[in-house]
Amino acid sequence: MTTGNSKLFDKRYGLLLFAIALWVWIGYSIASHTTHHIIKATIIQSSKPIRSIDDPLVPIKKEVLWIDKLYFPKGNELRHPLYGYLGYRHDFVIFFDAKFYLAKQESVRFIIYSDDGFRLKIDGKEVMEYPKDRPFSKSEKEVVLPKGEHTLYIKYFQGFGQLGIVGYYQEGSKRHLIGQDGEALHFEEQ
């Protein structure tokens, strides 16, 4: 039979453990709420209506945000998990810039859900685009990329009504949000 004695536990160390846990909690809270500079999002609000990707802008507000993943879910107002509701509803564009490193040459499938249109470039070369307005829909394209550092650029526009852009990439069968590391593909902090 096994017996126990609670007196064996020195409660002083319980207090010490609590004090250490307090600092761990502080450290974790700060670290988990620190924005990593993975994707630079430059948002430009236009006073002139935008109906396609190359429509000229009349900027009335410009804002730069750093985000860790390309995830602005479908809705009536632009929203990101890190920032909450951002106040943008219509006639704006966002330029996303990021760098990533590919550990080996491989085929990467990019999948973009957007409302409205977008244009994706890798290393300055256009990979895919949807230049007009549309409901929240999917576009995808597979490209073979050599080992090494690459740049990723997305231009997104919102005209009126519902909005949103969510981007993924797929290595083999695994899908990751753009901004989050995969097996061979690692996004770089800028």
Partner 1 sequence: MNKRSFLLLFFLLLLGFFTYFYNYWNPPKQFWDENYHIASAQKYIDRVMFMEPHPPLGKMLIALGEVLLHPNKNIDKSSFDRTDYIKHFPKGMSFAGYRLFPALFAWLNVALFFLILYELTKNDLLAFFGSFLYLFDNALIVHSRAAMLESIQLFFIFGAIWWFVKKYDSPKSLKDYLILGIWSGLAIAVKANSAIVLLLLFLWLLKDIRAIGVKLKEFVGAGIYALGAVAIFLGVFYLHFALGQKIVDHRTYAASPKYQQIIKNHQTANPANFLVMLKDNLKYMENYEKGVPKLNLCKPGENGSLFIGWPLGIKAINYRWEKHGSQVQYVYLQGNPVAWMLGLIGVVLSVALVLAVWIFGLPVKNRRTFEFIASFTFVYISYMIAVGQIPRVMYLYHYFIPLTISYILVVLVLYYLFEEQIKRGDKVVWGSITLIVAAIVFAWWFYSPFTYYKPLNTEQFNKRVWFDYWQLKAIR
**Positions in the binding site for partner 1 (CB under 8 A):** 11-13, 15-16, 18-20, 22-23, 26, 29-30, 33-35, 63-66, 82-84, 86-87
| Closer residue to partner 1 (CB): 5 or 18 | 18
Q: How far is CA 98 from CA 85, 90, 118, in A?
A: 22, 24, 16
Cβ(4)–Cβ(22) below 8 Å? no
Least CB distance to partner 1 at residue 182 (A): 25
Least CB distance to partner 1 at residue 71 (A): 15
Comparing C-alpha atoms, which of 172, 165, 107 is closest to residue 141?
A: 107
Instruction: Give dist(CA 86, CA 164) in Å, integer.
Output: 12
| Closer residue to partner 1 (CB): 16 or 103 | 16
| Closer residue to partner 1 (CB): 19 or 58 | 19
| Closer residue to partner 1 (CB): 33 or 174 | 33
| Cα atoms in the 13 Å half-sphere on the side-chain side of 176 | 15
Cβ(70)–Cβ(154) below 8 Å? yes
The single residue listed with the structure tokens 């761990």 is 24
Least CB distance to partner 1 at residue 5 (A): 17
Least CB distance to partner 1 at residue 29 (A): 4
| Closer residue to partner 1 (CB): 85 or 105 | 85
Least CB distance to partner 1 at residue 176 (A): 23
Cβ(69)–Cβ(160) below 8 Å? no
